[in-house]
Amino acid sequence: MYAISLGDDGAELRPLEPWHAEEFLAHLDRGRGFIQQYISFGSKETDMASARALLQRYADLRAADTGSLHGLWLDGTLVGGVLFLNFDAERGNCEVGCWLEPAGTGRGLVTRAMRVLIDFAVEQRGMHRIEWIAASGNQPSLNVARRLGMTRDGVQREAHPYGGVRHDLEIWSVLAQEWRDARARAAHNDH
Protein backbone atom coordinates (compact mmCIF):
# COMPACT_ATOMS: atom_id res chain seq x y z
CA MET A 1 0.00 0.00 0.00
CA TYR A 2 0.96 3.65 0.11
CA ALA A 3 3.27 5.46 2.46
CA ILE A 4 3.11 9.25 2.29
CA SER A 5 6.14 11.08 3.60
CA LEU A 6 5.25 13.83 6.05
CA GLY A 7 8.66 15.50 5.93
CA ASP A 8 12.36 14.94 6.41
CA ASP A 9 12.05 13.54 9.94
CA GLY A 10 11.12 9.97 8.98
CA ALA A 11 7.38 10.53 9.53
CA GLU A 12 4.96 8.66 7.27
CA LEU A 13 1.22 8.34 6.87
CA ARG A 14 0.08 4.83 5.92
CA PRO A 15 -3.13 2.81 5.98
CA LEU A 16 -3.68 1.07 9.31
CA GLU A 17 -5.13 -2.32 8.49
CA PRO A 18 -6.07 -5.57 10.27
CA TRP A 19 -2.69 -7.15 9.58
CA HIS A 20 -1.12 -4.39 11.72
CA ALA A 21 -2.93 -5.72 14.83
CA GLU A 22 0.21 -6.75 16.75
CA GLU A 23 1.97 -3.44 16.06
CA PHE A 24 -1.23 -1.51 16.82
CA LEU A 25 -1.71 -3.28 20.15
CA ALA A 26 1.93 -2.61 21.16
CA HIS A 27 1.42 1.06 20.26
CA LEU A 28 -1.77 1.27 22.33
CA ASP A 29 -0.04 -0.38 25.27
CA ARG A 30 2.81 2.16 25.13
CA GLY A 31 0.45 5.15 25.07
CA ARG A 32 -2.78 3.94 26.66
CA GLY A 33 -2.89 6.40 29.60
CA PHE A 34 -1.90 9.34 27.42
CA ILE A 35 -4.21 8.52 24.51
CA GLN A 36 -7.20 8.00 26.77
CA GLN A 37 -7.04 11.27 28.68
CA TYR A 38 -10.00 12.63 26.70
CA ILE A 39 -11.10 9.83 24.36
CA SER A 40 -11.84 6.15 24.78
CA PHE A 41 -10.08 5.20 21.54
CA GLY A 42 -8.27 1.91 22.06
CA SER A 43 -9.58 1.34 25.58
CA LYS A 44 -11.31 -1.95 24.71
CA GLU A 45 -8.44 -3.22 22.58
CA THR A 46 -6.38 -5.14 25.11
CA ASP A 47 -5.48 -8.29 23.15
CA MET A 48 -4.77 -9.34 19.58
CA ALA A 49 -8.37 -10.33 18.81
CA SER A 50 -9.84 -7.02 19.96
CA ALA A 51 -7.09 -4.99 18.25
CA ARG A 52 -7.68 -6.86 14.98
CA ALA A 53 -11.45 -6.38 15.36
CA LEU A 54 -11.10 -2.58 15.67
CA LEU A 55 -8.83 -2.45 12.64
CA GLN A 56 -11.24 -4.68 10.71
CA ARG A 57 -14.15 -2.42 11.64
CA TYR A 58 -12.33 0.53 10.10
CA ALA A 59 -11.34 -1.54 7.05
CA ASP A 60 -15.04 -2.29 6.62
CA LEU A 61 -15.89 1.41 7.00
CA ARG A 62 -13.31 2.21 4.32
CA ALA A 63 -14.86 -0.40 2.03
CA ALA A 64 -18.30 1.11 2.68
CA ASP A 65 -16.86 4.62 2.03
CA THR A 66 -18.04 5.84 5.44
CA GLY A 67 -14.79 6.12 7.44
CA SER A 68 -11.10 5.15 7.49
CA LEU A 69 -8.08 4.79 9.73
CA HIS A 70 -4.52 5.89 8.91
CA GLY A 71 -1.41 5.29 10.99
CA LEU A 72 1.42 7.69 11.74
CA TRP A 73 4.83 6.08 11.72
CA LEU A 74 7.97 7.81 12.95
CA ASP A 75 11.24 6.12 11.96
CA GLY A 76 9.33 2.90 11.32
CA THR A 77 7.41 2.87 14.63
CA LEU A 78 3.64 3.38 14.83
CA VAL A 79 3.12 6.38 17.16
CA GLY A 80 -0.46 7.45 16.41
CA GLY A 81 -2.99 8.02 13.72
CA VAL A 82 -5.63 10.12 12.05
CA LEU A 83 -9.03 9.04 10.89
CA PHE A 84 -12.29 9.84 9.24
CA LEU A 85 -14.69 9.04 12.09
CA ASN A 86 -17.51 9.43 9.63
CA PHE A 87 -17.49 10.20 5.95
CA ASP A 88 -20.73 11.14 4.18
CA ALA A 89 -19.83 11.62 0.53
CA GLU A 90 -23.46 12.13 -0.49
CA ARG A 91 -23.92 15.09 1.88
CA GLY A 92 -20.34 16.33 1.55
CA ASN A 93 -19.62 16.23 5.30
CA CYS A 94 -17.01 14.37 7.29
CA GLU A 95 -15.47 14.35 10.75
CA VAL A 96 -11.76 13.87 11.33
CA GLY A 97 -9.91 12.91 14.48
CA CYS A 98 -6.55 11.79 15.81
CA TRP A 99 -4.62 10.11 18.59
CA LEU A 100 -0.93 9.94 19.56
CA GLU A 101 1.28 8.20 22.07
CA PRO A 102 3.78 10.47 23.89
CA ALA A 103 6.65 9.59 21.50
CA GLY A 104 4.73 11.23 18.65
CA THR A 105 3.88 14.52 20.35
CA GLY A 106 5.42 17.93 19.75
CA ARG A 107 6.45 17.21 16.16
CA GLY A 108 3.45 18.46 14.20
CA LEU A 109 2.68 14.94 12.98
CA VAL A 110 -1.09 15.24 13.36
CA THR A 111 -1.19 18.66 11.68
CA ARG A 112 0.88 17.41 8.73
CA ALA A 113 -1.13 14.21 8.38
CA MET A 114 -4.43 16.03 8.71
CA ARG A 115 -3.48 18.33 5.84
CA VAL A 116 -3.13 15.22 3.66
CA LEU A 117 -6.52 13.89 4.80
CA ILE A 118 -8.31 17.21 4.33
CA ASP A 119 -6.70 17.77 0.91
CA PHE A 120 -7.95 14.31 -0.09
CA ALA A 121 -11.44 14.95 1.31
CA VAL A 122 -11.81 18.34 -0.40
CA GLU A 123 -9.96 17.89 -3.68
CA GLN A 124 -10.52 14.23 -4.50
CA ARG A 125 -13.79 13.43 -2.79
CA GLY A 126 -15.57 16.77 -3.00
CA MET A 127 -16.26 17.18 0.70
CA HIS A 128 -17.79 20.53 1.59
CA ARG A 129 -17.45 20.53 5.40
CA ILE A 130 -14.74 18.92 7.51
CA GLU A 131 -15.46 18.83 11.24
CA TRP A 132 -13.19 18.41 14.28
CA ILE A 133 -14.68 17.71 17.73
CA ALA A 134 -12.57 17.73 20.90
CA ALA A 135 -13.01 18.11 24.64
CA SER A 136 -12.44 21.69 25.74
CA GLY A 137 -9.63 20.60 28.03
CA ASN A 138 -7.75 18.86 25.23
CA GLN A 139 -5.61 21.85 24.26
CA PRO A 140 -3.22 19.92 21.96
CA SER A 141 -6.19 18.76 19.88
CA LEU A 142 -7.77 22.21 19.80
CA ASN A 143 -4.39 23.68 18.77
CA VAL A 144 -4.34 21.35 15.74
CA ALA A 145 -7.78 22.63 14.71
CA ARG A 146 -6.45 26.20 14.98
CA ARG A 147 -3.29 25.39 12.98
CA LEU A 148 -5.48 23.85 10.28
CA GLY A 149 -7.37 27.15 9.99
CA MET A 150 -10.62 25.74 11.31
CA THR A 151 -13.31 27.95 12.82
CA ARG A 152 -14.77 27.23 16.23
CA ASP A 153 -18.45 26.71 15.55
CA GLY A 154 -19.53 26.27 19.14
CA VAL A 155 -19.49 24.30 22.35
CA GLN A 156 -21.72 21.49 23.46
CA ARG A 157 -21.69 22.03 27.19
CA GLU A 158 -21.04 18.93 29.32
CA ALA A 159 -21.96 16.72 26.36
CA HIS A 160 -19.23 14.11 26.79
CA PRO A 161 -19.35 11.96 29.92
CA TYR A 162 -15.91 10.40 30.19
CA GLY A 163 -13.73 9.35 33.08
CA GLY A 164 -16.33 10.32 35.66
CA VAL A 165 -16.49 13.90 34.35
CA ARG A 166 -18.85 15.59 31.89
CA HIS A 167 -16.61 17.41 29.41
CA ASP A 168 -17.59 20.29 27.14
CA LEU A 169 -17.07 19.45 23.47
CA GLU A 170 -15.81 22.09 21.05
CA ILE A 171 -16.90 21.80 17.44
CA TRP A 172 -14.53 23.21 14.83
CA SER A 173 -14.86 23.10 11.06
CA VAL A 174 -13.40 24.20 7.79
CA LEU A 175 -15.36 24.55 4.56
CA ALA A 176 -13.93 23.49 1.23
CA GLN A 177 -13.48 27.01 -0.13
CA GLU A 178 -11.87 28.20 3.11
CA TRP A 179 -9.46 25.28 2.89
CA ARG A 180 -8.60 26.01 -0.74
CA ASP A 181 -8.11 29.72 0.00
CA ALA A 182 -5.81 28.98 2.96
CA ARG A 183 -3.78 26.46 0.93
CA ALA A 184 -3.43 29.00 -1.92
CA ARG A 185 -2.23 31.69 0.51
CA ALA A 186 0.29 29.28 2.04
CA ALA A 187 1.60 28.28 -1.40
CA HIS A 188 1.88 31.94 -2.42
CA ASN A 189 3.78 32.78 0.79
CA ASP A 190 6.20 29.89 0.16
CA HIS A 191 7.38 31.50 -3.10
- 154: domain CATH number? 3.40.630.30
Domain span including residue 118:
4-190
Q: What is the pTM of this model?
A: 0.90
- HSE at residue 35, side-chain half, CA atoms within 13 A, is 25
Total of domains in the chain: 1
Write the CA distances from 166 to 36, 39, 172, integer angstroms: 15, 12, 19
Q: What is the pLDDT along the chain (191 residues), one digit of tens a residue?
A: 678 889 888 899 999 999 999 999 999 999 988 888 888 888 899 999 999 999 999 999 999 999 999 999 999 999 999 999 999 999 999 999 999 999 999 999 999 999 999 999 999 999 999 999 999 999 999 999 999 999 999 999 999 998 899 999 999 999 999 999 988 887 766 65
